């Protein structure tokens, strides 16, 4: 999976964006540089990873 | 809405010593609060409440139908249920109506079965079974909603696509 596709997936997953915000941010991804995409991806991945770990603990 | 946004806690794996123990306690407290929040959300959900009402109706109707088998107190219960249904329809008190999806004339006409069977037939069973058909679906939908609320965002976060996306940015 490319980093841009991964960021688009994570943008759809996080719960702090409205559908409109998700759509606008996904559109902005197209013109973002590779470094910017990587930085955004690292941030979103950290958020989703932390939520996934908490969910595992909650639902254990 | 941000999950756990109202509570801050450190990742216990990063800290150490006394701080680590305190962070573990806070993390546990946050988890307990989240579980309580989910339980409260379950009790307030209208679909869950409808499912619970359907379940209670099924239990009550099963009890009346069982008691109606044979002569005796079952007849009193069966006719009491009919009277309660009439009052429920008249004064719009839904809790008193154990067969809301069954027309009142069905309840009354089914009592005709008592005559040839000398009061031994469980005539309330007909209305109970007719009511069970829509209530079974309500109970199923209620259970699915409870599972969905209890598991939270599990289905959104633990998917193959998200896992692949996280691996792309693995440390």
- B122 φ/ψ angles, rounded to the nearest 5 degrees: -90, 80
Interchain CB distance below 8 Å, B3 and A5? no
Residue B98 makes CB contacts below 8 A (sequence gap 6+) with B57, B60, B61, B64, B81, B84, B85, B131
Given A1, A13, A50, which is nearest B156 (Cβ)? A13
Give B10-24 pLDDT, tens digit per residue.
444 444 555 667 777
ipTM score:
0.87
Residue carrying structure tokens 């009550």: B60
Q: Rounded CA gap, B1 and B153, in Å?
A: 11
Give B57-102 pLDDT, tens digit per residue.
999 999 988 888 877 777 888 888 888 898 998 898 888 899 999 9
Interchain CB distance below 8 Å, B162 and A50? no
Q: Rounded CA gap, B43 and B20, in Å?
A: 35
Each domain of chain B, given as residue ranges in start order, spans 23-171
């Amino acid at each position: 999976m490319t980093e841009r596709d991964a960021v688009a997936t994570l943008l759809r997953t996080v719960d702090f964006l409205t559908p409109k915000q998700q759509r606008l941010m996904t559109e902005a991804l197209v013109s973002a540089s590779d470094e910017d995409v990587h930085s955004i991806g690292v941030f979103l991945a950290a958020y989703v990873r932390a939520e996934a770990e908490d969910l595992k603990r909650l639902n254990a | 809405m941000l999950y756990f946004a109202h509570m801050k806690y450190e990742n216990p794996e990063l800290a150490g010593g006394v701080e680590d123990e305190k962070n573990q306690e806070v993390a546990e407290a946050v988890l307990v609060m989240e579980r309580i929040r989910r339980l409260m959300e379950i009790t307030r959900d209208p679909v869950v409440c409808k499912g619970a009402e359907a379940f209670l109706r099924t239990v009550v109707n099963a009890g009346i139908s069982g008691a109606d088998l044979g002569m005796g107190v079952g007849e009193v219960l069966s006719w009491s249920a009919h009277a309660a249904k009439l009052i429920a329809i008249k004064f719009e008190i839904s809790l008193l109506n154990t067969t809301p999806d069954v027309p009142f004339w069905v309840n009354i006409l089914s009592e005709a079965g008592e005559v040839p069977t000398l009061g031994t037939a469980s005539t309330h069973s007909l209305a109970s079974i007719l009511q069970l058909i829509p209530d079974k679906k309500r109970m199923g939908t209620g259970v699915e909603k409870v599972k969905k609320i209890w598991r939270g965002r599990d289905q959104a976060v633990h998917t193959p696509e998200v896992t692949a996306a996280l691996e792309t940015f693995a440390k």
